């Protein structure tokens, strides 16, 4: 497995990480715990060293899962988790909360669940408009000085917020959605990260599964699957968006690769400090995704992919209430 550095702060990780959210949250019923522990350890065996979770995934259960799975190899891996939501007694999200005292509480609880003495990379999950980002960054800086956190990150933050946070505590990485069907970060975010020396961690690099070519207008998701609420996954949007996937699939076939591998290899080609974190609950898909790291794309391949990506994508990437939480 190749390695990459997230920014200038020396955080080295595998070129591909593993997003663990779908094992516990958002995509229907949680997967079998023992099977997921086995999958996470299989990822380690195959060279993946970068694992992503958050307190809100479950809530709490995904951190607990990751903590148990990685306990035997904790010193070999990098764990990223997130704060920023208030969770009520019933385990439901109850708004944003990045008050300094709440951040400290979340970190102590996350450390226990992850069975570790330090969080390698701590993200603010979403920008809280009620708390100045300088206070957030300053609180994380205090936690870094205390030895409880190593690196600071933001998720789905806008460029002004990124600059303000970085001025207080240098940012190691930004995590936001980025893929062949969501290229908005290219406009302002990627140039800013390059200027600041921060890395970029794309989540949903396979378009929540759509770019794999395994989903079409007739696909039915489980009742608890988040995609049932996403405009981009409405049947009519899926029907229109198949044009992009079919073009990408044809290019991939010419390379002896899968559409998923092509989409991940394209992301890896964008910048040497980009580390995608595709999620999966299946060993076969994990191995397929890892194969993308060795897939070399020529200049002609990249021109073909870029031409395919000009096909307009139908539907918003989030329902409106979640769209209001991004880009702040």
Q: Which residues belong to the active site?
A: 57
3-state secondary structure of 230: coil
Contact in structure between 250 and 241 (CB atoms under 8 Å): no
Strand pairing report for 173-177 and 93-96: unpaired
Instruction: Count CB neighbours of 271 within 10 A.
Output: 14
> Cis peptide leading into 244, omega within 30 of 0?
no
Maximum Cα interatomic distance, the chain, rounded to a whole number of Å: 54
Closest to 17 in 3D by CA, of 293, 244, 309, 294:
293
How far, rounded to the nearest angstrom, does the alpha carbon of residue 152 sit from its chain's CA centroid? Answer: 15
Distance in angstroms (rounded) separating the CA atoms of residues 290 and 261: 8
Contact in structure between 121 and 80 (CB atoms under 8 Å): yes
Distance in angstroms (rounded) separating the CA atoms of residues 95 and 12: 33
As a three-state string, the secondary structure of 32-97 is: CHHHHHHHHHHHHHCCCCEEECCCCCCCCHHHHHHHHHHHHHHHHCEEEEEECEEECCCCCEEEEC
| Structural tokens at position 325 | 């939480």
């Amino acid at each position: 497995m190749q390695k990459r550095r997230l920014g200038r702060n020396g955080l080295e990780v595998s070129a591909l990480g593993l997003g663990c959210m779908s094992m516990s949250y958002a995509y229907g019923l949680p997967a079998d715990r023992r099977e997921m522990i086995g999958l996470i350890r299989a990822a380690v065996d195959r060279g993946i060293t970068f694992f992503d979770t958050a307190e809100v995934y479950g809530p709490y259960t995904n951190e607990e899962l990751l903590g148990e799975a990685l306990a035997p190899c904790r010193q070999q891996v990098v764990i990223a988790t997130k704060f920023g939501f208030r969770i009520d007694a019933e385990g439901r999200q109850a708004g944003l909360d990045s008050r300094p005292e709440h951040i400290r509480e979340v970190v102590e609880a996350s450390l226990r669940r992850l069975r570790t003495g330090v969080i390698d990379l701590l993200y603010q999950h979403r920008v809280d408009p009620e708390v100045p980002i300088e206070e957030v960054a300053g609180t994380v800086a205090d936690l870094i000085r205390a030895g409880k956190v190593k690196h600071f990150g933001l998720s789905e933050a806008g460029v002004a917020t990124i600059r303000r946070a970085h001025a207080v505590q240098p940012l190691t990485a930004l995590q936001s959605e980025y893929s062949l069907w969501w290229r908005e970060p290219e406009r302002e975010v990627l140039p800013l990260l390059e200027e600041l020396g921060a890395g970029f961690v794309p989540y949903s690099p396979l378009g929540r599964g759509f770019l794999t070519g395994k989903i079409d207008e007739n696909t039915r998701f489980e009742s608890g699957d988040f995609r049932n609420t996403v405009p981009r996954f409405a049947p009519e949007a899926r029907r229109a968006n198949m044009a992009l996937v079919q073009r990408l699939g044809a290019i991939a076939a010419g390379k002896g690769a899968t559409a998923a591998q092509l989409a991940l290899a394209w992301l890896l080609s964008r910048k040497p400090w980009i580390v995608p974190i595709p999620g999966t609950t299946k060993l076969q898909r994990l191995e397929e995704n890892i194969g993308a790291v060795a897939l070399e794309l020529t200049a002609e391949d990249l021109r073909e992919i870029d031409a395919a990506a000009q096909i307009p994508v139908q539907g918003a990437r989030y329902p409106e209430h979640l769209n209001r939480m991004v880009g702040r």
